[in-house]
Amino acid sequence: MLVVWSRLGFLGVLIPIILSVIALMITDGMYGKNHFSPNTVFGVCFILSSPVIWFFGKKLNAGGERKLIDPKTNETVVIKEKHTIFWMPLEYFSIPVILLGIFWLYA
């Protein structure tokens, strides 16, 4: 599988997976192995991590804009740090994450 990201965009995949694995270990430890279906745990964790990705992406992509002027041509160049995953801004990646979580709940 090919994952394409820029800057901190990889967190869009990492946050829900790490949260799901930790939650699965906690639920298995507290209630016994397979008390909750792994699909249910992963579905709930992906749905809960979606707002985290949205707000984290909005915060990261909000700042960091610089305007530079080329001395030879007097053109303005805008440099902005973009945090993307699969060529979309990090905050919009929360939509596929929540859809995947809903899919896992009903699979």
pLDDT at 79: 82
Report the number of distinct structural domains present in the chain.
1
pTM (whole model) above 0.75? yes
What domain range is 67 assigned to? 5-106
pLDDT at 1: 65
E strand segments, 33-75: 65-69
pLDDT along the chain (107 residues), means of 10: 81 92 91 84 94 92 82 85 88 94 90
DSSP-assigned letter for residue 10: T
What are the φ/ψ torsions at residue 43 (nearest 5 degrees)?
-60, -45
For residue 16, CA distances in Å to 22, 50, 100 come to 10, 8, 11
